[in-house]
Structure 1
Amino acid sequence: MMGSMALKRKRGGNHPYLSGNFAPVRRTLPLTPCKYIGAIPSELTNGQYVRNGGNPVTNEELGREAHWFDGDGMLSGILFKESPAKHGDIEPQFVNQYILTDCLLSSITSPSLKSPILPSIATMVNPASSLLWIIWRVIRTLLLVLLSYSPGSKLAIKRISVANTGLFYHDGRALATCESGPPLRVQLPNLETVGWYNGNESEGESHVKLAEEAFGGTGVLSWMQEWTTGHPKVDPETKELLLYHCTFIAPYIHYTIVPTTTRGKEAYTSPAFPKLMNKPIPGVSGAKMMHDFGVSRQHTVIMDLPLSLNPFNLLKNKPVVAYDSSEASRFGVFPRRNPSAIRWFETSACCIFHTANTWDQVDHHGQAVGVNMLACRLTSASLVFSAGNVAAPQPTKETADKIRKALPRDGLDHASDLESSRWERTPLLQSQREFTPEEESEQCRLYYYYFSLTTGKITHQYGLSAIPFEFPTLNPTKEMSTARYIYGCSTSASSFGAALGRAVKIDVIAKIDALALIEKARIGRPTEVTGCVDRRSVAEVLSDNEFNVQDPVRCFKMPEGWYAQEARFVARDSTQSEDDGFLLFYAFDEAQMDEDGECPDNAVSQLWVLDAKGMRDVICKVTLPQRVPYGLHGGWFSEEQIAEQREVEIFRKIPALKTKEQRNTWDRIREAMIGMLG
């Protein structure tokens, strides 16, 4: 049914995140054979790469109120199916499906609905949005939720998550994520939706329901306290699932560890580690837009950054989402199973949406004396605004003075540093200045922190490379331990701010030898906070890569007009080298777009498999039957994981719409009220 359903799409709106290859696709496909060139590595046999992202099903009246983080979740995957006719032959098969959330099903079964049920993040962050308008959009959502419980409704909206952010695997389940609800289970490889996961089981699973405590616990706020980070972590050794739940009410953050169970021939058995559910984390300063966190083998790092996400901001005449660059960034470090023992570390304001890796520093007795963390650190929150085509607000003079006083003295000993501090906060959509790597506008770099557990201070904090760096990935066997190589997305634009201002487009895949650069910093220590170990630009790195195969920073440049998406690392079999593997990512040739910058219906994407060791050779390219819009996060799922999924009793389905003759009085009243709400 979804394959034939026409999306409501307003053409010609020129919103950068609803145009070109950001625009939603119009159809879904079952597993469909694809053509390819090159040689598909045997390590991919019967595994599947799947990427998540927003694909709004209702956007007729969006206008400027749209944001890259909005949209109904859609999964797009490639299954590397081994041919049954000839052993060793692989036939790649493409599949894409909507994630059937409560909001999506309600939207599909409400023909009179003109705009998404949830307010756009762009509305929440736009300084030009009036208080009355924001309040109305929130009230409208509440009314639509209430109407979903009325007679004639096909499905009540019990959870408001659109599940459009990430996708990971734990304990026999593939789970899609979004901060506004719990994970939602999907079934590989066909990508059917199973149901919401509560920390014990998923709806739709074929087993007896457990009476154990679930995400959110009990009580009047349990519906809010089950909201789960978009980036849960799975320990590659213990297989524990670690996550947190972020709310608007103190203590703001609750913390959960869900153990894995051992798969037997018939059923799952008791876990090896005890469950830790809904434990409050003390000391968080307020309601925050907290997207990710760090986890090592022994410790967890919570990031309390000066980016608030709080509806109570409206009472202070502030936007729901607000960034205060005069406030400190706070990092809470605690033993993995003891959040009450948290220790807080403070430093200059920044935004971090993704951590790359976190690992313990141990002494010769095996005791942790510090925690290392690599993260993609932004110098401001402008990404939140530019991803909604909204100019970021400039700080007041009072705020600017606070920033100037808060930065380290040795970080402001040159006029260029003062100039950089000012330009870093210029709205992205207005900034046209050229920047050197050291003072680049809207820096987003792979950044190194060291939290000393002996001194209680951050003793190291600086960028490793000056190139723009986001959407990190690494060899999954090295997560939470000392990983050498971090991969990520970059851009060859003159500045990261310029790239963001015209919608995020990735034309460079980067590989950084983090340990080599950390070691280099021991010889020539960079300036704390503002400093950087390797100050070369992307162009300089590409030039140096031609003759230096040992370069600690390597870049793969996409062909002209081609753009990539987030990559995922898959290791070769039986290898001793950490970087011996492949990077899988979707690629799109924008030469297919028309003169208005829109994609025709016959536009297609490809899946590229890049050699992760040399960062030069594309081993194979799979041509898909349609395009995959630029999206967010995904994952790689092995043949064993797909085979070991828990049994499903029932999948979520799209209800059949009633004909005009089948509608009763309640149906007509409900549709009329939805039409009035728009």
Structure 2
Amino acid sequence: MRPLKGRDDRHPYLSGNYAPIIQTRPLTPCTYTGTIPRELVGGQYVRNGANPVSNEDLGRDAHWFDGDGMLSGVLFKRGSTGEVEPEFVAQYILTDVFLATTTNPSLRHPILPSIATLVNPASSLIRIISRITRTIFLVVLSFLPGSRQAIKKISVANTAIYYHDGRALATCESGPPMRIALPSLDTVGWFDGNEADGEALEKPEDEKKEAGFGGDGLLGFMKEWTTGHPKVDPVTKEMLLYHCTFAPPYVHYSIIPANQDRQPKGPTVPKLLNQPVRGVSGGKMMHDFGVSKKHTVILDLPLTLDPLNLLKNRPTLSYDPSAPSRFGVFPRRNPSQVQWFETSACCIFHTANAWDSEGKDENVSAVNLLACRLTSATVVYTAGNLGNPSLADYSIVPKKPISFFDSYEFDQTDKPTLNGISRGSAFDAASDLESKPEDSLPLIESAYIVSPLDEEEQCQLYYYRFPLTTPDKPTISHQFALSAIPLEFPAVNPFFSMAAARYVYGCSTSTSSFGAALGKAAKIDVLAKLDVHTLLRRAEANPPTPITGCVDTRPIGSILAAQEAGTAKSDDPIRCFHMPVGWFAQEARFVPRAEAKSEDDGYLLFYAFDESQLDADGEAPPNAVSELWVLDATHMRDVVARVRLPQRVPYGLHGEWFTEDMIRAQRAVEQVRTIGEKEDFEGGWGRVRKLAYKALA
């Protein structure tokens, strides 16, 4: 299988505003238009993404998820006289891999093999093993005498960033979280579940007895590999994570309490580290999971990530559309009580929210999950400029294979409060479904499995309901799409996460094509807002077909046309913000308004780029810039402020909003990481090392 060819055979995820940028920048004043909301003053928006620092040969295997983590942030600095002074900052995350690369200028290619190499069915066993062996040799060389930087962790920390217990933490599946200092975005050190390297210890080192992520043992380093999407409970402040490995039991689970952030009179909860989750079917590519107030949902999907696949003549990462999708649901602090629910194959990279359905006795009868469900692993391949092999074993394929956010015409035939706003008590739809599940939506028998041939390529917001009342025969009672519009990178008001949030925001597209100029690269020109409560009530009144069904079957073009014509109903459960022509957005984060009167009373923050800046060849010139937009999230209509940045921010992954209080409450730091001196190859041993590096360049 050959890579898909774009214009001039360029890699779509190395072109235009997907092209990496290596320009770092300290906090730099920015200009802006509009009015910056007072809720933003003193806070900072930060987004993570991959920017490979060694990338001389653009013809190499490359993938959107490859590359060294770079943080791009806007600080809404509080001026001395009360005015707002936005400042932009961009810094690489100084991981072991990044520092080893920058101290050794002879390396022309990244230390880690590209995901595209690992997932490409055309990659021979010899090719894959040679790339992995190269990485192993480079890691070993980094520990030998004379090396400036040892590679103790292989993570590039390029996925997301979160805040927990006085620490900003950058994440990636290939290692533990990395602590970042706000607002400078300096790198502090790896966080092991107890402390981070570089921060001031709260007790003498000789008293530090607790084991961190991974614990002891030969395979302990694999148990440090932490999900890119940990969850932080907005009420208890504890952080929940899981760790995926290649060896049984494949998934371990941790809960880190917030000793610093918890309420003064709040209970002290124990730490939970590396607890096994039994029943996972193998080594998997798990990117996200679900967490409700009392339960956790692990996603065991048919996307395997296992070096042993090579022995089966399969790529290291492969998708099996004939295998089932499995959801493991267990009490938050008791993974040994996991119940496994099974349904047809799908891929889920991001969950939007999860919540419990409780009776009057406060016992949980079901766990509900909202997730962005894909019907194949297309994104894994298209993000590497590869064709999708998942349908190769079928004689019939969907008539319109499409990309990550691609739209399609849906076949209609086939108890705390925030300013008095409840975090879940008003979810009428969930309570109605709970009161009479046998009379509302159809129950899906465990034998009901949909073939991949029955579904076209799609990426939609899906609703799942996992009843806990029949532990001997776990059965998913409800599963269907809430809307036919494509939706990914979901977000909710953070105060309402893990409860019955009414609104989900996400990224979408207005076209079925993402631009011939950039091949399969997904372009986000629509931000969508879905009213989950209303859509679930409609599902109760008119039950969709299990798995393939959809509540609101309108394509996004119809929704946008009605909005632009002014004919959209005031109670329409779907509202969209359409970017101006030529402008494209990135993932948005919700920031509540001060003294908010409703759950959706707030703003969406996201980076935007005007592609009219691209040259005739579709490349971004050195003077191209991005903007940070502040969108009114209630009406999804008005951009209240636009901050012009001094450089562009490539289309990347996940961001977070940090309040002024979070920045002030950070734990003390003794030292930050810095880029060291270049490798010294003097002397006989130095020349030997230089030859070794040259051979592995």
**TM-score between both structures, scaled by the size of structure 1:** 0.91
% same residue: 60
SS of residue paired to 1:243: strand
Distance verdict in 2 for CA 1:610–1:428, change over 3 Å: closer
Counterpart of 2:46 in structure 1 is: 50
Q: In the alignment, is residue 616 of structure 1 matched against residue 637 of structure 2?
A: yes
Write out aligned runs for 1:129-528 (5 A). Answer: 129-207=123-201, 208-209=204-205, 210-262=208-260, 272-397=268-393, 422-423=398-399, 426=401, 435-436=409-410, 441-455=456-470, 456-494=474-512, 502-528=520-546
1:64 CA displacement? 4.2
For the residue of structure 2 that corresponds to 1:422, the secondary structure is: coil
Aligned match for 1:585, one of 587, 606, 622: 606
Task: Provide the residue aligned with 1:635 in structure 2.
Answer: 656
| Cα 1:178–1:64 shift into 2, 3 Å | same
Tell me how far apart the structure 2 counterparts of residues 658 and 347 of structure 1 sit (CA, whole Å): 53
Give the Å deviation of 1:657.
2.3
State yes or no: 1:647 paired with 2:668.
yes
| Aligned-partner SS, 1:94 | strand
CA drift at 1:497: 11
Query: SS of the counterpart of 2:104?
Result: coil
Q: Which amino acid aligns with 1:306?
A: P
Confirm or deny: 8 A CA contact 2:628 2:644 kept in the other structure: yes
2:118 paired residue number = 124
Match status 1:674 vs 2:668: no
1:566 alignment partner in structure 2: 587
The CA deviation at 1:151 is 1.9
Residue pair 2:407, 2:458 contacting (<8 A) in 1 also: no
Q: Deviations over 1:73-105 (max 9, x none)?
A: 000000000111x22x10100000000000000
CA separation of 1:658 and 1:394: change in aligned 2, threshold 3 A: closer
Q: CA deviation at 1:622?
A: 0.3
1:114 CA displacement = 1.0
Separation in 1, partners of 2:369, 2:267: 29
Instruction: Give the aligned CA root-mean-square deviation in angstroms.
Output: 2.3
- Is the CA contact 1:229–1:244 (under 8 Å) kept in the aligned structure 2? yes
Deviations 1:569-626 (A, max 9, x none): 0000111300000000000000000111111000000000000000000001000000
Label 1:278 to 1:658 Cα distance change in 2 as closer, same or farther (>3 A): closer
Q: Residue 480 of structure 2 aligns to a residue in which SS? A: strand
Contact preservation (8 Å) 1:78, 1:94:
yes
Per-residue CA distance 1:512-559 (angstroms, 9 max, x = gap): 001110110000001100010001111111123333232100110001
2:82 is equivalent to residue 82 of structure 1: no
C-alpha separation between the residues in 2 aligned to 1:388 and 1:396? 18
Q: Which residue of 2 aligns with 1:17?
A: 13
Q: 1:150 to 1:270 in 2, by over 3 A?
A: farther
Query: Secondary structure of 2:12's match?
Result: coil
Q: Distance in 2 between matches of 1:121 and 1:572?
A: 40
Distance change in 2, residues 1:534/1:436 (3 Å): closer
- Unaligned stretches of 5+ in structure 2? 1-6, 413-453
Question: Residues 185-220 of structure 1, C-alpha deviation per residue, up to 9 Å, x if partnerless?
Answer: 000000000000000000001113421121011011
In 1, Cα distance between equivalents of 2:626 and 2:332: 41
Which amino acid is the alignment partner of residue 523 of structure 1? A
| Matched position secondary structure for 2:477 | strand
Alignment CA distance shift 1:433-1:233 (3 Å): closer
The whole-number CA distance in structure 2 between the counterparts of 1:609 and 1:72 is: 28
Amino acid at match of 2:620: C
| Counterpart amino acid of residue 288 in structure 1 | K
Cα 1:518–1:575 shift into 2, 3 Å: same
| Cα 1:533–1:501 shift into 2, 3 Å | farther
Letter in 2 for 1:224: M
**What SS is found at the alignment partner of 1:59?**
coil
**Native 8 Å contact 2:299 2:328 kept in 1:** yes
Q: Distance in 2 between matches of 1:599 and 1:525?
A: 48
Equivalent residue pairs, number: 640
Q: CA offsets, 1:216-249, max 9 Å, x none?
A: 1101111111100000000000000000000000
Cα pair 1:374 1:447 within 8 Å, conserved:
yes
On the 8 A contact 1:300/1:333 being kept in 2, the answer is yes
Q: Following TM superposition, by how much is the alpha carbon of 1:672 offset from its aligned partner in structure 2, in angstroms?
A: 1.9
The aligned runs of 1:92-107 (5 Å cut-off) are 92-107=86-101
Deviation at 1:396, TM superposition (A): 4.9
TM-score, normalising length: structure 2? 0.89
CA distance in structure 1 between the partners assigned to 2:48 and 2:301 by the alignment: 26
**Deviation per CA, 1:94-136, whole angstroms, max 9, x where unpaired?**
0000000000000001111010000000001111111100010
**1:468-505: per-residue Cα shift (whole Å, max 9, x none)?**
00000110000000100000000011268999952011
Equivalent residues of 1:382, 1:428 under 8 A apart: yes
- Whether contact under 8 Å (1:507, 1:564) holds in the other structure is yes
Q: Shift of the alpha carbon at 1:667?
A: 2.9
For 1:43 and 1:669, locate their aligned partners in 2 and report how far apart those are by CA, in whole Å. Answer: 58
Separation in structure 2 between the aligned mates of residue 283 and residue 593 of structure 1, nearest angstrom: 50
Question: 1:263, CA displacement in angstroms?
Answer: 5.8
Q: Distance in 2 between matches of 1:385 and 1:351?
A: 13
Partner deviation per Cα, 1:37-95 (whole Å, 9 max, x = no partner): 000000001000000000000011351400000010000000000111x22x1010000
Distance 1:671 1:40, change over 3 A: same
Q: What are the within-5 Å matches in structure 2 for residues 35-46 of structure 1?
A: 35-46=31-42
